[in-house]
Amino acid sequence: MSGVDYDIIIIGGGIQGAGVAQAAAAAGYKALLLEKRAIASATSSRSSKLIHGGLRYLESGQFALVRKALRERDILLRIAPDLVRPVAFHIPVYKHSLRSSLHIRLGLSLYALLGGLKPLNRFKRVSLSAEQNRDGLETKALLGMYEYWDAQTDDAMLTRAVMRSAMDLGAALICPGTAIAAHYEKDHYQLRFRTDEGERQVSAYALVNASGPWVNQVLEKLAPSSPRLDIEWVQGAHLVLDAPAPSVIYYLEAPADKRAVFVMPWRGKTLIGTTETRFSGEPDEVEPSEDEVQYLLSVYAHYFPARPANIIDRFAGVRVLPKTPARFFNRPRDTILHRSSPALLSLYGGKLTGYRATAEQVIAGLRTQLPEREVKADTARLRLRNL
């Protein structure tokens, strides 16, 4: 193996791509990340801003995903205290709630068990007097409320911090840089890409396609032809309201369809989301639809009728889900690592919380294609800083 520019090239500068770049550099590999716009410019800056185990995924039986996410949440709380902070979640139970008090208790008990029964995973029933209800939550027909803990972050800042860590370890970044085509020859890929200065070409022993909603579009540019997974794009919308930030994150049931909707503090204001709407079009141009806006406003008005609010910002991101007959809620949410060839891995979907564990899996899966290198660091111990 000689005359090759990099060990690994990663296409895509969202949290998954940044995580792979960090893991590759920490393992001692020479890595290059290629991003067409800016780090965290798409879905990784348009999430619900949560670092969590995914309590609602217990209902669809995704226990392994929840266990992994809770483990990764604990790691991020330890290595990124400036970026990830614990926050209380409150689940109100009403007479009209689909999930009863017993249902909630069982779910939170399993959640705590999967998290290892650590202090942060404990939950309790809380009372809500008129004096305590400074957030203005609707109390009519309220039977009780449960408190548990997860965490919150600024998703874009976290992604940039991971990329800075990767670069501190020796990874290279080309941004903007748009992949044009790549072909595999003998033992490496030759990748052609475009920058503001024109076209360039680099080579690497392995290629990681972490381009989010564009994953299949990138695969179309590779030779030999690579098989693709059938996917659907799902839009998730959020609104920022001018109401003062609530004291906790409220985990609510949307009255219309009983979906989980969060009302959260965000930069001194109130953030509400998310939706799950089939999307078609160009992911760069995704915006909340009027139906989504009205849906989220109706949830807020139902639970906080005494605190009317106006929209001051709105945003939407595009998730990648496997195409199946199941409802969006029941489809797998963990990252799918799709191996088209020994030297090519594509990442389909995935959650913000689990980016680090996914990146470790990617590097482990490509190790046989890579030269031996000396390990530099362990990403589970590397401090992430908000600079």
Q: What is the pLDDT of residues 286-341, one digit of tens each?
A: 999 999 999 999 999 999 999 999 999 999 999 999 998 888 877 888 899 999 88
Q: What is the pLDDT of residues 336-381, one digit of tens each?
A: 999 988 899 999 998 999 999 999 999 999 999 999 999 999 999 9
| CB contact at 8 A, 303 and 138 | yes
383 pLDDT above the threshold of 50 = yes
Q: Write a three-state SS string for 76-111.
A: HHHHCCCCEEEEEEEEEEECCCCCCHHHHHHHHHHH
| CATH 3.30.9.10 given to domain 86-150+231-330 | yes
Q: If DSSP codes are grouped into helix, strand and coil, which group holds residue 130? A: coil
53 contact partners, CB below 8 Å, separation of at least 6: 66, 67, 69, 70, 73, 111, 114, 115, 150, 353
Q: pLDDT value at position 130?
A: 60
| CB contact at 8 A, 158 and 183 | no
| CB contact at 8 A, 189 and 208 | no
Q: What letter does residue 307 receive in the DSSP assignment?
A: S
Side chain identity, residue 6: Y
Percent of all residues in the chain with a pLDDT value above 70, rounded to a whole number: 98
How would residue 243 be classed by pLDDT, with cut points 50, 70 and 90? very high
132 pLDDT above the threshold of 90 = no
129 pLDDT above the threshold of 60 = yes
Q: pLDDT value at position 1?
A: 46
Q: What is the pLDDT of residues 177-230, one digit of tens each?
A: 999 999 998 899 999 999 999 999 999 999 999 999 999 999 999 999 888 999
Q: What letter does residue 55 receive in the DSSP assignment?
A: G
Nearest to 153 by CA among 274, 18, 47, 311: 47
Residue ranges covered by each domain of the chain: 6-43+157-230+332-369, 86-150+231-330
| CB contact at 8 A, 18 and 202 | no
d(CA 9, CA 29): 10
Sign of CA dihedral 125, 118, 265, 104: negative
| Section 3-32 average pLDDT | 97
Q: pLDDT value at position 274?
A: 94
Q: pLDDT value at position 165?
A: 98
361 contact partners, CB below 8 Å, separation of at least 6: 337
| Section 226-236 average pLDDT | 93
Percent of all residues in the chain with a pLDDT value above 90, rounded to a whole number: 87
What is the model's pTM? Answer: 0.95
Q: What is the pLDDT of residues 69-90, one digit of tens each?
A: 999 999 999 999 999 999 999 9
How would residue 131 be classed by pLDDT, with cut points 50, 70 and 90? low
6-43+157-230+332-369 in CATH: which number?
3.50.50.60
d(CA 149, CA 145): 14
For the chain, give the longest Cα–Cα distance. 72
97 pLDDT above the threshold of 50 = yes
| CB contact at 8 A, 249 and 90 | yes
